[in-house]
Amino acid sequence: MSVRRYPDRPFVGVGVVVMGPEGILLIQRGKPPRQGKWSLPGGAQELGETVVEAGIREIEEETGLTVTIDGLIDVVDSIRPDAEGQVEYHYTLVDFCASVAGGTLHAGGDAMDAKWFSIDAIMEMELWSETKRIINLAIEMHEALN
C-alpha cells in the first residue's frame, strides 16, 4: 500500500496553472488519486525543497517545460475518504500561476499525457470544481500582471 494512502498526516502538494499562447496546460494523471483524469500539473513537495522549487521541478518532470512562477493563487484542501469514511488521501495543495520559459512539451513522470487547452474547452471538461476555480483565479492574476 502506498504511504500516501491512509496517511497519518496531510501531504503538501503543489499545482501549477501554466499559461501559454495556446491556452492552459493540463496533464492526464497516471496515478491515483484521480488516475486518468485531466488535472493541473504538479505533485508532492520533497524534503528540503520550497513549494516554488517543487512546482518548477514537477512541471519539468511532467511536461518537459521550464516555467517562471508568477504568483501564488490559493491553498486548497483535498481530503478524499474511502467508502467506509476513512481518510484515504489528504493533501494540502499550494497552487501557483506560471509562464513558460522554455522546453518542449511532452508527457513524462506521473503524467500519461500533457496538452494545451483553450479556456472555453477547459470550462466544458469534467474537472474537479476546485481545479476550475483555481484556473479562473489564475486567469484573473495573469490579466492583472499583463
Over the stretch 58-91, which tens digit does the pLDDT of each residue have? 999 999 999 999 999 999 999 999 999 999 999 9
Q: Which CATH class is domain 11-145?
A: alpha beta
- pTM of the entire structure? 0.90
CA-based Rg of the chain, rounded to a whole angstrom? 15
pLDDT digit string, tens, across residues 43-64: 999 999 999 999 999 999 999 9
Angle, CA of 39, 32 and 121, to the nearest 5° = 20
Q: Rounded to whole angstroms, how far apart are CA atoms 98 and 68?
A: 5
